């Protein structure tokens, strides 16, 4: 196994997908990333970003994937019903989603992929699909996955994927109570790459406190405390234009040079 991690962002927008010239640079698709850790292929969330690029362009000649879903809100599942590898009879996908409100992973997914909201159920997938609950720690091959609960309405899962001495923390849909959430900072400490929710400005947050998302300023403070080698802020508000994000990014880098705003299509090799 090679101790390397490759990641490609496919969707970094929150809440709903958007399109138009003013969203071209950062993208309008909702949450999704491809991640290759050693010999294992992962998909982080299944928003509309899942459908923006053929999966083989990042994982050539692969039929087995592990999908780590943070939670079952629609913007994180929108791409799943039309993801072509699930209909490939040679395909195999392990889907992890934490049991919540008494509903298993499959039952949560079928809140969306079932009549009357969708014409088929998950049993229409031709590939071998295995649903799993999320444990605090588990392994996928030689890759370790650690998890913690996020602060988000209905619950959400934060993942840390570790391969050798490299690690990625995926923390979308996270509303920390202050600038120093001790449990999260300890969980993410020293990671190679931190993907961190930062949907709102401080002014906007006054109106949407409790919606389950962080602010740009708070996430910058948290990233600094975690000591991540690199941080990408994600889950951009659907109304946030490229020009606004570029302005916010410039200001953020003056506070903390190791931070950027995630862009759809961006590739990172650790």
Q: What is the pLDDT of residues 169-197, one digit of tens each?
A: 999 999 999 999 999 999 999 999 999 99
Residue 100 has a pLDDT of 96
pLDDT value at 10 more than 90: yes
Residue range 208-234: mean pLDDT, rounded: 97
Segment 47-54 mean pLDDT: 94
The pTM for the full model equals 0.96
As a whole number, mean pLDDT of residues 162-167 equals 96
Q: What percent of the chain has pLDDT over 90?
A: 93
Q: What is the 3-state secondary structure (H, E, C) of the chain?
A: CCCCEEEEEEECECCCCCCCHHHCCCCCCECEEEEEECCEEEEECCCHHHHCCCHHHCCCCCCEEEEECCCCCHHHCCCHHHCHHHHCCCCEEEEECCCECCECHHHHHCCCCCCCCCCCCHHHCCCEEEEECCCCEEEECCEEEEEEECCCCCCCEEEEEEECCEEEEEECCCCCCCCCCHHHHHHHCCCCEEEEECCECHHHHHHHCCCCCCEHHHHHHHHHHHCCCCEEEECECCCCCHHHHHHHHHHHHHHCCCEEECCCCCEEEC
pLDDT of residue 216: 98
**Residue-wise pLDDT tens digits, 76-113:** 999 999 999 999 999 899 999 999 999 999 999 999 99
Q: Is 139 left (phi over 0), alpha (psi -120 to 50) or beta?
A: beta
Does 168 have pLDDT greater than 80?
yes
**In the predicted model, what is the mean pLDDT of residues 5-29?**
97
pLDDT of residue 2: 61
**pLDDT band at residue 15 using 50, 70 and 90 as cut-offs:** very high
Inform me whether the pLDDT recorded for 18 exceeds 60: yes
pLDDT number for residue 261: 98
Q: What is the pLDDT of residue 54?
A: 85
pLDDT for position 185: 97
**pLDDT over 90 at 20, yes or no:** yes
User: Residue 56: what pLDDT?
Assistant: 81
What is the pLDDT, as a whole number, of residue 148?
98
pLDDT of residue 230: 96
- Is the pLDDT score of 1 beyond 60? no
Q: Could you tell me the pLDDT band of residue 60, with boundaries at 50, 70 and 90?
A: confident
User: What pLDDT shows up at residue 58?
Assistant: 83
What are the tens digits of pLDDT across the range 62-73?
789 999 999 999
């Amino acid at each position: 196994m090679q101790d390397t991690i490759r990641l490609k962002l496919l969707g970094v927008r929150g809440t709903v997908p958007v399109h138009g010239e003013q969203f071209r640079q950062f993208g309008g698709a909702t949450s999704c990333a491809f991640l290759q850790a050693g010999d294992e292929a992962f998909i982080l969330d299944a928003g509309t970003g899942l459908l923006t690029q053929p999966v083989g362009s990042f994982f050539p000649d692969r039929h087995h994937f592990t999908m780590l879903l943070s939670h079952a809100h629609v913007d994180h599942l929108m791409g799943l019903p039309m993801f072509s590898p699930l209909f490939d009879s040679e395909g195999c996908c392990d889907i992890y989603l934490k049991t919540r409100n008494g509903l298993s992973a499959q039952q949560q997914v079928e809140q969306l992929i079932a009549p009357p909201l969708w014409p088929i159920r998950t049993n229409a997938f031709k590939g071998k699909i295995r649903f799993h609950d999320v444990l605090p720690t588990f392994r996928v091959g030689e890759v370790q996955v650690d998890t913690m609960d996020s602060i988000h309405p209905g619950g959400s899962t934060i993942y840390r994927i570790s391969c050798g001495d490299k690690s990625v923390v995926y923390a979308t849909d996270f509303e920390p109570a202050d600038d120093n959430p001790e449990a999260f900072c300890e969980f993410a400490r020293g990671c190679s790459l931190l993907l961190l929710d930062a949907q709102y400005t401080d002014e906007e947050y006054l109106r949407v406190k409790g919606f389950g998302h962080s602010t740009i300023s708070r996430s910058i403070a948290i990233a600094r405390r975690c000591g991540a080698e690199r941080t990408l802020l994600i889950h951009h508000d659907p109304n946030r234009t490229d020009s606004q994000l570029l302005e916010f990014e410039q200001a953020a880098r003056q506070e903390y040079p190791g931070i950027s705003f995630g862009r759809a299509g961006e590739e990172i090799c650790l």
